[in-house]
Amino acid sequence: MAVAALLLFAATAAGQEGEFPNRPTDMQFGRLLFDASRLRDAEAFLEQARPANEDETIERLFLLGRIAMQQGRPREAAKRFEAILARRPDFTRVRLELATAYYAAERDDKARLHFERAMADRLPSSVETAVERFLDRIDNRKRWSASVSVALAPESNPAKRTREEMVRIGGAPFRLDEDSREASGTGVMLSGGASWTPRIGDGLRAVLAASGSTKRYRQKEWNDLSAAVEAGAARVLDGSNLSGGLRAGRRWLGNDGYSRSLGPWLRGGARLSASTRLNISVDLLRFSHDDRPDLDGWRWTARTGLVHAVSSRSSLEVGLDLEHVSARTGRHGSRMAGMSLSFAHAFRGGLSVTPSLAIHQRRYAGRDPLFDRVREDITIRPSIRLLHRALQYGDFAPWIGYSHERNRSNIAIHSWRNQAVLIGVSRRF
């Protein structure tokens, strides 16, 4: 305190009598005032400070973040710590401060992400224990969450139609009309959802959720809109959770009703370690179709996802998908199995890159009457997504992506390719 006061007096005197060569900088004043717990004064000096190098830039942001946290402004603190990680994603201490700020701001999804990534690095046992306690609190306290995403998607073949001009049916060639062949278009994608999990007992919660997504085109017949609601209950344990309930859904294609669905769902998650998490979901839905009763039937889907923080800068996600579809007309039934792999890495400077690859194989239940064979498809979808941590507007994070999707079928009319560039923004609440 005395040192800070002496420096302040010296600065005042210098302003009255002219500059002197050893005048302390705003950064030095800020450090001293922070150490003296004069947070408001320290913040004023640090805000106007002009760092001399990269290290001072990071120190300034760190001190401003600590001040914001101590003054009860965790969202502002998170922005300061995010700015540091944009420059140096390997700073584990800053990542822990960021995770704590998000926890204080009740941004639990982001807090969990950064706690788990920090645990991928070697931490003292006392710090690991503290992080595990934070993760348990996140699991136990979460009451509601919401997300929204908007994207513009120019695509080469959004309707996923063949590029073939001729097909053979019963050995005879037939020319396809233009409406049956691939065409490009630009779609606007909007998706979002919200969930509320009020406590109804010790470790027991109700689950109420709603979600929706839509893709809109100038060509109205390509429009696709889906909405769903869920109700159920969840059991929360240390390091794991299990929930289940009933789901109802509705889908529209080309602005007309297409299908309804109703059935039970089951979700589960477990922390295998502080940096590894396993998620499982199972749905059993009965589908009915507005104009295609031959497609009516049950659809069973299961997905397992393993997320592992390789380091504080990188994470790996592996997924396994299974699906069984029954239909009133047997040949429309099918079985599908697939795998996906995604790797996220943050580079110095703020750029984060997430390449991914998904492969799915589907076999239908009966012969196609026109082509006299059982249809088999293999769909391959490599993609990449980029975002820059420093480019955020409010709590919205802009991103850009590219995907190349290809379906290979033993029936030529069902083979197609689609390339898409996606430019969007997203936010989790």
- Rounded Cα gap, residues 124 and 138, in angstroms: 21
DSSP tag of 165: S
pLDDT at 418 over 90: yes
What kind and span of H or E run contains 425?
strand 416-428
Q: Are 312 and 121 in contact (CB under 8 A)?
A: yes
Please report, in angstroms and rounded to a whole number, the separation of the first and last CA atoms in the chain. 41
Residue 304 three-state SS: strand
Mean pLDDT of 187-199: 92
What's the token pair of residue 366? 């009966």
Alpha carbon 415 to its chain centroid, in Å, reads 30
The rounded percent of the chain whose pLDDT value lies above 90 is 48
- Render pLDDT for 16-64 as a digit per residue (tens, 0 to 9): 444 445 677 888 888 888 888 888 888 888 888 888 888 888 899 999 9
pTM of the model: 0.78
Hey, CA dihedral for 68, 70, 75, 78, is it positive or negative? positive
Per-residue pLDDT, 105: 87
Which of the listed ranges 137-146, 282-291, 341-350 does the model predict with the highest average pLDDT? 282-291
- Render pLDDT for 225-268 as a digit per residue (tens, 0 to 9): 999 999 999 988 777 889 999 999 999 998 899 999 999 999 99
